[in-house]
Structure 1
Amino acid sequence: MQVSVETTSPIERRLTIQVPAAEIDEAVSARLKDTAKNVRLNGFRQGKVPMSVVEKRYGPSVRDDVVGEVMRERYVRAITDESLNPAGYPSIDATINEAGKDLEFVATMETYPEVELASIEGTDIERPVVEITDADVEEMIETLRKQNADWQTVERAAANGDQVNINFQGYIDGEPFEGGSAEGHELVLGSESFIPGFEGQLEGAAAGDEKTVSVTFPEDYQAEHLAGREATFQVKVNQVSAQVLPELDAEFIQRFGVESGDEAAFRDEVGKNMHREADQAVENRVKQQVLDALKAANDITVPSALVQQETDGMKRQAAQQFGLGEDFDVSQLPNELFADQARGRVQVGLLLAEVIKQNELEASDDEIRAKVQELAAQYEDPQEVVDYYMDNDQLKTQVQSAILEEKAVDKLLEQTQVADVEMSYQQALAAAQQQAEQGGDDSESEQESA
């Protein structure tokens, strides 16, 4: 077997592989002899069909099978001999495939990039310092009450915060447009869930009122044919309801797992949860800044096969998140919606894998167990969760990857200049969310080559 390797890009290799004709012809001949033993043809007994007949009838298909097997086997041997690390499946095409001639085929493949990490020395990192006050806890409890509120019909004009039941029909240039109508729709005024300006024009309307609402769709509206267009809606108000908050009593408190129903215990539990959320927000904000700096300093070429794998995974997550069902064909979702974020995740994963490798970072069983115990603390039976994770190799591997990522980020953080910035609880959560959106949420990346 002869192999030549051509570098066609920083991560693409083109292998030209030749296999002596004698090897192929001998393998085809042996396969045809085996085939002849079992062939059944009219006028011949089983196993007595002349080889010339067998060759004429089965020769081309047998050769195709043999050549396919040889190309796959020799490809694997070639990448092993040449110490190549493929990322994804190759494209294999036979260029010479004739009886009596050496077989020649070309395998085009992407490899994992060779990463030479550039330092992020001197990068400025902002680390939020969050103090959760009694007022923050009180605000959170009010939010929980609103989330569990009931709606009571009222005989008055609608105000901000009320819920209205409406029928509506939308028009553009005097013509109804698709998706612009509904009956019995429940809308909370001030929720900003409708087109900007729509909800405010319904304040002051009472049950039975009919109103004409004029709005302009945002320029970045998801439906392109409506973006930036002026529209009018004929709206009928069927009912106005006011929000009725639940009492902060034992029954309400027990909904959140505080079996005693004690208000002080409930406030303490809410505070603990807020502290956990704040700590996570701080960690995520710092991590995303580090990952952004790492990407900016190391603009590596990433294999398209890995980007597609990540894209497919994100599609499945999106389908699950939006309840599209297990039978939903995720290929219906355009790659363009996920490609940039997927590319960023793959880039970060490859870079973090190199950080882990260079610093010889490891995660022991004790560290994995401790991390699982931390995750399990929020569940009703933490030990059951710990046992479930520790008995599942796949879940343990996921936890191990998370620990290694944390260690890699900590190692990178040593190269940066960290400045503490005081933030409120709400500011910290909002900043972490904004940072994740701007950075493509790279903190969920996987170390593809770890």
Structure 2
Amino acid sequence: MAEHVIKLPDVGEGVAEAELVEWHVKVGDLVREDTMLAAVMTDKATVEIPSPVHGEITWLGGEIGDVIAVGSPLIRLKVEGEAEAQPEPQMETPHTPTPSPSPQGGGEPVAAPVEIAPVKAAQVKAAPQATGAMPSPSPLWGGVRGGGQPTFAPSAEGEKPIAAPAIRLRATEAGIDLRQVPGTGPAGRITHEDIDAFLARGPQIAPTPAPGLVRNTTVEDIKVVGLRRRIAEKMAVAKSRIPHITYVEEIDVTALEDLRAALNKQKRADQPKLTLLPFLMRAMVKAIADQPNVNAIFDDEAGVVHQYGGVHIGIATQTPSGLMVPVVHHAEARDIWDCAAEVSRLADAAKAGTATREELSGSTITITSLGAMGGVVTTPVINHPEVAIVGVNKIMVRPVWDGTQFIPRKMMNLSSSFDHRVVDGWDAAVFIQRVKTLLETPALIFVEG
């Protein structure tokens, strides 16, 4: 047997280390070439590390959340040679202890825990109890009684049967849980004959518990790492340092939805489909021209408000990894179609994990929307160190009194939060009322001056 060491590769120019955010394998797993082993996160992206060889995982170089330097060992694998693979670190000891580090002779193994140096304590939670088939968390084959019939017996958590990598690979491909296969080899080792016998016999079904309600007392500890940790840190800073004021206004978007539908019907093939967001972005640009104090970043440590001329709108985007905020830079210089195309491109890049640092930074005001799940009212958290965020709630048809009768209208709430240290309640209301006017009379969005 040979050992193959996989080191953390160079995952980007100027990157000296990366945070380990996910393991796709565990000690004892058999992997093929190109199997994804782990994912690491840098300031720029999340990168997956594939296996260059076939083999069995014998060691993992860190825990989720650890920061690993480029070039440091990440994973060790046992690579199968011509000779039969040796079992995993021996789980049995001779009956009589000996000072020799390697027991000699053929003494019968007995139930006794031993320390396994290459494996971390967290990876080996309990020692085996006896020879024969190895125990596991569920009722499995536990030995042979009188007439040679195998029996079920529960056993400790974290243990696995002894089998060569070739046996494990065969079992994996056949969908067999080796913990259910009684081994007839030395010290309970599972052989190809044992696999054949198991396939011929079929899996044994453990006795079902008595009917009734079962209390689930499981408690799972989930370490906060990677993007989730960064989101948590940023939200904590925003809520602890910014005194939020939230202003909610009702918007009649019936005319806007009619215009949007008409534009989408006559759009060119190379133009993106228009959503509500591009219209809101253009309305915000016009409203910011009258209320420039909402388009700013507050350096509260220095006591300075940086008020920007360019409108750089962050678009809060839900991705498989968590919430990200790609930025549409210079929205003031884009028309409706250009805004729509840039939002679509950035959202795709964020969800695919390919967005660059520049595309994820530099926002001066943010839009957050949950689409059809937007709820009636929300209280968005400001994207620190900005001073304003505009939240889009879902569109609902509601009866509206027009002076003589109730008529159905498409209504939507805007729930917006402001940093009360920088933006007074009056200024926040003036800003949102201007946005309301533009969205309810969408032709004004296209009128210059």
TM-score range, shorter chain: under 0.3
Higher relative contact order (CA 8 A, sep 6+): 1
Going by fraction, where is helix more abundant, 1 or 2?
1
Greater per-residue strand proportion: 2
Q: What's the TM-score once normalised by structure 1's chain length?
A: 0.16
What is the TM-score normalised by the length of structure 2?
A: 0.16
